Amino acid sequence: MFVMRSLLLLILSGLLSGGLFAQSDKLTKLQLPDQDDYEQIAPDSTFLALKEAYNRAVEKKESLAAARCLVQMGQICFHLGHFPQALEYHLQAGNIFRKEGAQQQLADNLNDIGMLYYYNKQPELSRRQYEEALAIFRQLNNKTGVALTYGKIGHLYEKQQQYDSAFLYQRRALAAYLSADDKAGMSKIYENIGSIYEDLARYDSASFYFNKALELNIQGEDKIARIEILNNLGDVCRKTGQYAGALMQTRRALLLALELHEQRQLSGAYRDIAKAHHLAGANDSAFYYLELSRQYLLETYSEENSKQVALLQTVYDIEKKNNEIERLQNARKTTRIITAATVIVILLLVALGILVISRQRLKLRNEQILRQQHRQIFETEKELMEAALQNKQLQEGKLKEELEVRSRELTTHTLHLIQKNQLLEELRVRLDEMVKDEKRDQKKQLKQLLGQINHSFNHDQYWVDFRNIFEQVHQAFFDNLKKYCDTLTSNDLRVVALLKMNIESQDIATLLGISQDSLRVVRYRLRKKLNLQQGESLTAFIQSL
């Protein structure tokens, strides 16, 4: 109950001093009870009011007001034991304070974050937050803030059982509070120092500092803090065997708790009284007060559980509402996106259609131009081809005429040779008969004449001229022939050329000046050189070349 009332007082003072709800036209017209009725404030309704104020601050784009709402929402969650949610709210607030440059609020929030990290058993992260807060307070020359942060760091060292460091920072905090003349802060630091001495079992020193804390507290109005100091004094007396003194101090704490209706403090006071009676040997009284402690503790847990359940239900309802709003917003956003995308797609399709049509038209125009160009090129090429064809035909005609002339020349030349050789053959026969006639006196001269005729048969000049004319008429004939046999003699080539011209065997023998039998031998050898099969015509083979 003490923690809840402290929380609600803190929230109420924050709301009033921060001016969060001072202007109804900015945020909301939340009506809060007076401070005397703070115990009637429910965390769930306060949290809901803070959430509504936060939403309105976000809508109005009042970042600092939204951050203060987040801080107080985080404090509610912290005091009800919802540490992860509390840390999330404080971190969000810290980001806003840092962005807006609100250094004082940022430093206070860092101290809250450090405490949350401590309860989450992350002392390194906790110390890091305290150090940053301390640096900001020093920069702002805020002595109270510096003292508060020193005290938190000292408390952190105390819980880690690093008592030398704990003393160091608590004394630094005390010096800062003395400089700021803050008696409430000094009272808290004296209590902290006494708690360290109590942990070290140095009860005289602990009692001294607890009494100094009580002395300064009595000068103020913080009765809840006074209950804690009195309980600490009672603990020291009980641990040192001063049971009467312990009962006195605890009863003073009990009266204050009854005055303030602090059930948790009442439970603690009754439990301490029960311990003192037990140590003093009064077990009946110890049992009685222990039972009272248990009853108040159960009531406290029941009340706090109810408040926690109410807060959780509120948080759940808020989250559900936010999720529904977010879903609707996403749905609207999705609808807008789909609509915009549809419009864009339609526009793109129209643009694409126009582009396709224009490209198609351009393509048709280009094709028409290309067809015209191709037609012109075709006509030009046709004219050129016709001219080339005519030119070729003229050339072929000319070549045919030349070929015919050459053929006639070759035929004439060949006939001339045949006639000459026939004449020479007749002369040779007659001369041969004359030579055989021994009655003649011209035998010697006739022999000479016969030798000249025989020599005329083998005169190569005629065959040279014949070959030149033959190769002009039958181009590449001899090259094709050599593919089958490249060992043909000049006489073989003459026979082949005469066969190519379809000259009779008798005329071939006359031209070569040999007999029919010799010609048959020559033809047989040619067949072997050309690798012709038996029955294959030599003349037909030569004509195919």
Residue at which a domain ends, from 252, 286, 320: 320
329 within domain boundaries: no
Question: How far is it, in rounded angstroms, from Cα 170 to Cα 165?
Answer: 9
- Give the CATH number, domain containing residue 501: 1.10.10.10
For 256, phi then psi, to 5°, come to: -65, -40
Question: What local confidence, expressed as pLDDT, does residue 149 receive?
Answer: 93
499 confidence band (pLDDT: 50, 70, 90): confident
Does the pLDDT value for residue 130 go beyond 80? yes
Question: How far is it, in rounded angstroms, from Cα 459 to Cα 412?
Answer: 18
What is the domain extent for residue 305? 222-320
Question: What local confidence, expressed as pLDDT, does residue 304 receive?
Answer: 57
Q: Please state whether 536 falls in left (phi above 0), alpha (psi between -120 and 50) or beta.
A: beta
248 within domain boundaries: yes
Question: What local confidence, expressed as pLDDT, does residue 208 receive?
Answer: 93
132 within domain boundaries: no
Does the pLDDT value for residue 139 go beyond 90? yes
9 confidence band (pLDDT: 50, 70, 90): very low
Q: What digits encode the pLDDT tens for the residues 216-247?
A: 888 888 888 888 888 899 888 988 889 888 88
Q: Helix/strand/coil (H, E, C) string of 229-293? A: HHHHHHHHHHHCCCHHHHHHHHHHHHHHHHHHCCHHHHHHHHHHHHHHHHHHCCHHHHHHHHHHH
Question: What local confidence, expressed as pLDDT, does residue 401 receive?
Answer: 67
Q: Which residue type does 140 have?
A: L
Coil, helix or strand for 200? Answer: coil
121, 112 contact by CB (below 8 A): no
Residue at which a domain ends, from 258, 287, 320: 320
Question: What local confidence, expressed as pLDDT, does residue 462 receive?
Answer: 67
The total number of structural domains in the chain stands at 2
154 within domain boundaries: no
Question: What local confidence, expressed as pLDDT, does residue 261 receive?
Answer: 79
Q: Tokens 């700021």 appear where?
A: 180
Whole-number average pLDDT of the chain: 79
250 within domain boundaries: yes
Question: How far is it, in rounded angstroms, from Cα 256 to Cα 248?
Answer: 13
Residue with more model confidence, 455 or 255:
255
Question: How far is it, in rounded angstroms, from Cα 498 to Cα 522?
Answer: 13
Q: Please state whether 30 falls in left (phi above 0), alpha (psi between -120 and 50) or beta.
A: beta
- Give the CATH number, domain containing residue 292: 1.25.40.10
Residue at which a domain ends, from 269, 286, 320: 320
424 within domain boundaries: no
Question: How far is it, in rounded angstroms, from Cα 299 to Cα 267?
Answer: 9
530 within domain boundaries: yes
Q: Helix/strand/coil (H, E, C) string of 327-395? A: HHHHHHHHHHHHHHHHHHHHHHHHHHHHHHHHHHHHHHHHHHHHHHHHHHHHHHHHHHHHHHHHHHHHH
504 within domain boundaries: yes
What would the two tokens of residue 19 be?
């001016």
Q: What digits encode the pLDDT tens for the residues 163-191?
A: 999 999 999 999 999 988 888 899 999 99
62, 32 contact by CB (below 8 A): no
Q: What digits encode the pLDDT tens for the residues 347-361?
A: 998 988 888 888 888
The mean pLDDT of 296-311, rounded to a whole number, is 61
